[in-house]
Amino acid sequence: MNLELRQVSDGVFATSRAAMQAEVADVIAFDMDGVLINVHQSYPVVICQAVTKYLEEVGFSTDGLAILPEETAYFKAAGGFNSDWSLAQGITLSFLVKAQVFGSRDAMALRRADPDIPTLARGVGQYGGGLSGLHRALENIIELSDLEVVLQSWDRTRITRLAQEFYAGDQSPTVFGIQNETISGPGFMLREKSLVTRDLLTRAPFRYAIYTGRNQGEAKFALSKAGLEGIIPDAAMITEDRGYRKPDPRGLQKIVEQLSPRLLIYVGDNLDDWQTATRYETDRSLDDPPCLFCGMLGGSPGPLAYSLFQERGVDLLANSVVQLLDWLQARQPQRLS
């Protein structure tokens, strides 16, 4: 735990080291979901809808959603699930494994069966997070031979396809380049709301970049809907379809190459974002600019975020981008005087 972390402004917490370094910060790189865009009514719901629909397609009985949107936060807190499609795949796999173990296709009963969702997610975190951590956690409840049988029936491509269609709806061809096969109508992406304004970003004396798990279509749609198009240079918008997936620090390195900052601040809401910045700091040469990580509260890990970030010794925490930029801007005169 970082005992130096203290409140330095309304909604902003920093160590003394970070407060000093922030005076020379000139480039802010953002994750999107939970940072620039409120996705509480989109991705978590999409995950649950895709899991439930897939289970129905393979013969499970359901009575409502197999998992609730707020329960996805347990897996986000475990780390390794920056991709919501991977999370939908992982949650589905847990149901398939339980079905094999308990000999039932009743999704509601399996949801309550041990290990329950919080317990399973904690196990995933203990094994390093993500799908690999989930595999290891599930090995504790199923024979390896039975797990192999389940894995052969686990159609990750179909689960991703369902999630994309639920997310983009009729705009799937534009956003993902796919034709709707199952889901039609408005997508859940239309429920997203901006957490920042164009005026906020343009009046602050910083340059901006994005490193997100979204693809270009998802990212550009969200920025356009939020009125933020044109603020982020295309070359500094690092999306998954450009070949970088967090926690790969090369996404931040590409931003550094494009914008040549004195000091970079990467703002993210989950442990994958923190790990990305940490790996950048570990890998960078002495000629590369330093990077501070700012943990954004209220994102995908929900109420668990503050303790998760504090336990890992982050240098900055903020309740919102608005409060973070206000604090950073207030420090600029000290640097320029």
Rounded CA separation 76/54 (Å): 21
Q: What is the total count of domains within the chain?
A: 2
In a domain, 1, yes or no: no
pLDDT tens figures, 2-14: 458 899 999 999 9
Percent of the chain with pLDDT over 90: 85
Which domain-ending residue is among 189, 221, 254? 189
Q: Which residues pair with 317 in a beta bridge?
A: 13, 295
Nearest to 94 by CA among 59, 119, 62: 119
76-80, 141-145, 199-203: least confidently modelled range: 76-80
Computed over every residue of the chain, the mean pLDDT equals 92
Q: Are residues 78 and 199 in the same domain?
A: no
In a domain, 113, yes or no: yes
pLDDT tens figures, 215-228: 999 999 999 999 99
How far are the Cα atoms of 184, 306, 319 from residue 9, in angstroms, in the given order?
A: 46, 16, 11
Q: Are residues 70 and 95 in the same domain?
A: yes
Q: Are residues 133 and 212 in the same domain?
A: no
- 38 has a pLDDT exceeding 90: yes
Which domain-ending residue is among 141, 163, 189? 189
Q: Whole-model pTM?
A: 0.89
- 334 has a pLDDT exceeding 60: no
Q: Are residues 63 and 199 in the same domain?
A: no
In a domain, 104, yes or no: yes
The whole domain housing 112 covers 43-189
Rounded CA separation 149/164 (Å): 26
pLDDT tens figures, 40-76: 999 999 999 999 999 999 999 999 999 999 999 999 9
Nearest to 32 by CA among 317, 279, 242, 226: 226
pLDDT in the model for residue 308: 83
In a domain, 322, yes or no: yes
Nearest to 194 by CA among 224, 165, 216: 224
What CATH number has the domain bearing residue 28? Answer: 3.40.50.1000
Helices (H), 113-259: 117-126, 130-138, 144-153, 156-168, 172-175, 198-203, 216-225, 250-259
Q: Are residues 221 and 127 in the same domain?
A: no
Q: Are residues 205 and 283 in the same domain?
A: yes
Which domain-ending residue is among 189, 222, 238? 189
Contacts 24+ apart (CB under 8 A), 196-199: 196/36, 196/226, 196/228, 196/321, 196/322, 197/227, 198/227, 198/228, 198/231
Rounded CA separation 29/233 (Å): 12
User: Residues, the chain, total?
Assistant: 337
Q: Are residues 166 and 47 in the same domain?
A: yes
pLDDT tens figures, 270-321: 889 999 999 999 999 999 999 999 999 987 767 777 888 888 889 899 999 9
Q: Are residues 32 and 48 in the same domain?
A: no
